[in-house]
Structure 1
Amino acid sequence: MTQPLYVGVDIGGTTVKVGLCNEEGKLLHTYEGPTGSEQGPDASLGNIAEYARRVVNDNGYAWEDVQGIGVGMPGFMNFETGVVHLSANFPGWKDVPVKSKLEQLTGKTVRINNDANVAALGEAWSGAGRGLQNVVVFTLGTGVGGGIIIRGQIYEGFSGMAGELGHVQVVPDMEAIQCGCGQHGCVETVSSATGIIRMAKDAVERGDKTSLAALPSIAAKDVFDAAKAGDEVAIRIVKRAAYYLGKTLAATAVIVNPERFILGGGVARAGDVLFDAVREVFAKYTPKQAVVDVVPAELGNDAGVVGAAGLNLRAI
């Protein structure tokens, strides 16, 4: 007996990951191949169409059972028309009609959205938010991204900027530095891996007594490991990152009122040393009626393909 299938595509600068999901959001199979972005958008889209067929046909399924294809990628795009206007990771991609071209190549309905939104949808659909209708996902990596899921669907806002959670300005003016977005005091400047590394390097340059000074280079993981080992400087840095992230959750909670906050990305793998501090700050600054669980993401690198697959089922 056949089952409805959904293909999700997570487009990276060098690699495309394609996933095949059933209608419950279970990831059945994946396939990865080079993006080929240096050859231009037409070549990349041709590769994506080929990979989509491979993940279906090579695993014994029928292409006719595919109900739709979803695509997640970074950049500025029109979600409704499926046109990617600009993406820094893809030189030469300007006003590319991804939706219509992929529909021509595959014969399937195609929906597109940005990578942070589809990762959030993946976690909401079959990850740490499964069974819930309203969740907010923060992705803590080089920057801070996120996605808002309301009634099981991505909330995009009128211009697609909803869910740009890394650019909530929570750092006071006297402490604020400029963010990559051009504004000052964004939570991304302190709670991302980049922000944590910057604070650690500043501490070393000031001559603060810390084990981090002995390292030839500092990664965010080094700061968390040092904090777990009792390094007071590292503990201070982690607490500062957690403080502003917790305050951002508090602000989001009284606007969106989600059932759960989910934290993913490389920084979130720090574990209790980060989560305990974030939960404490969140509870302190949030009205009791809006305090909810703050939990780690579950899908890891699969969140993007699962969420993209869900675009044709969970997003309208």
Structure 2
Amino acid sequence: MSDKIIVGVDIGGTAVKVGICDLNGELLHTFEGPTEAEKGADAVCNNIANYALQIVEQSPFSWEQVEGVGVGVAGFLDIPNGIIKFSPNLKFRNVPLKEFLENKLQKKVLVNNDANVAALGEAWAGAGSGVSHCVCYTLGTGVGGGIIVSDRIVEGFNGLAGELGHMAIVPDLEAIQCGCGKMGCLETVSSATGIIRMAKDAVARGDRTSLSFITTEITAKDVIDAAKAGDEVATRIVARAAYYLGKSMATVAVVLNPERFIIGGGVSKAGEYLFEQIREVFRKSTPEIVAEGVQIVPAILGNNAGVVGAAGLIIRS
């Protein structure tokens, strides 16, 4: 076989996911192995290199066909030099991952933030396919983000562009402190953590809600399911999360003018119930000429967005 391939690597705290993509972003093979972060940076770097070699060896392709290796990792990075300045998940500081892997694999290696990489995956081969300008939100424990302009990741001068969850969007009188230390961040109301907090606060206040009858830890899914069933308290909580998401998108739209917003992560599984509310707020909050033609859609790659986007670094950077 003569076709070129790209290896994408998504480094998680417990597992490293590796994939082979063709040059069109189609995911051909995947492999997953333990991160073993507790063994230190050298062990993890060696694991990544070995997993990359292993997946190609187990595929119909040869190492000579590999165009390069892209890597996504959570943390603060020196992106041009591929250095992990600090990764809370891995407890890494100043790890020269790019240099290590290029020496080990003898291939071009590019490293980027995991949220950027997931956004690139959706833009390249997912819900943003065919669109050159899009913005991705990931609604999970926090609110992650990634910005794609002219098919390229927007990184900012020190790699921190796209921190959408830390837009100070909630008014002062309603704001609480975010984990980042600032007040009123989008993450405090529109993440799974934020939704759960608001639900627990309502139960603690004694609000009349079916959520008070949940005997286990309340989840974001519990709140969304209760809202869909007509629970007034849960309905207000989800509406608040959707409201600030829509408001944040309105702000982003007048700055970046994306064609499509893509929403992924666990909270996005609420489906059209959530998306319809976000779209309504967006339309009301955005100048008509800016909002015209803009789509707000769910992500489609799921857990594969990271490896696909990591592979995409090689041809989209």
TM-score under structure 1 length normalisation: 0.98
Partners of 1:94 and 1:42 lie apart in 2 by 12
* 1:310 shift after superposition: 0.5
Q: Which residue of 2 aligns with 1:139?
A: 138
Q: Which residue of 2 aligns with 1:50?
A: 50
Partners of 1:48 and 1:73 lie apart in 2 by 12
Gaps of 5+ in 2: none
Partners of 2:128 and 2:25 lie apart in 1 by 12
Q: Which residue of 1 aligns with 2:164?
A: 165
Q: Which residue of 1 aligns with 2:117?
A: 118
* 1:97 shift after superposition: 0.4
Aligned ranges 1:210-225 → 2 under 5 Å: 210-216=209-215, 217-225=217-225
Q: Which residue of 2 aligns with 1:188?
A: 187
Equivalent pairs, count = 314
* 1:47 shift after superposition: 0.7
Partners of 2:39 and 2:204 lie apart in 1 by 43
Report the residue type matching 2:265 in the other structure: G
Partners of 2:36 and 2:280 lie apart in 1 by 45
Q: Which residue of 1 aligns with 2:82?
A: 82
Partners of 1:87 and 1:158 lie apart in 2 by 19
* 1:268 shift after superposition: 0.5
Q: Which residue of 2 aligns with 1:282?
A: 282
Report the residue type matching 2:237 in the other structure: I
Q: Which residue of 2 aligns with 1:239?
A: 239
Partners of 1:290 and 1:181 lie apart in 2 by 31
Q: Select which of 301, 310, 313 maps to 2:312.
A: 310
Aligned ranges 1:287-302 → 2 under 5 Å: 287-291=287-291, 292-302=294-304
Identity of aligned residues (%): 62
RMSD between superposed Cα atoms in Å: 0.7
Q: For residues 262-312 of structure 1, what are the alpha-carbon distances to aligned partners after superposition, in whole Å with 9 as ceiling and x for unaligned?
A: 000000111111101100000100011222110000000000000000101
* 1:36 shift after superposition: 1.2
Q: Which runs of 4+ in 1 moved over 6 A?
A: none
Gaps of 5+ in 1: none
Q: For residues 8-61 of structure 1, what are the alpha-carbon distances to aligned partners after superposition, in whole Å with 9 as ceiling and x for unaligned?
A: 000001100001000000000000000011111111111111111111110121
Q: For residues 176-225 of structure 1, what are the alpha-carbon distances to aligned partners after superposition, in whole Å with 9 as ceiling and x for unaligned?
A: 00001111000000000000000000011111111110002200000000
Q: Which residue of 2 aligns with 1:103?
A: 102
Report the residue type matching 2:193 in the other structure: T
Report the residue type matching 2:280 in the other structure: E
* 1:133 shift after superposition: 0.5
Partners of 1:285 and 1:14 lie apart in 2 by 41
Q: Which residue of 1 aligns with 2:17?
A: 17
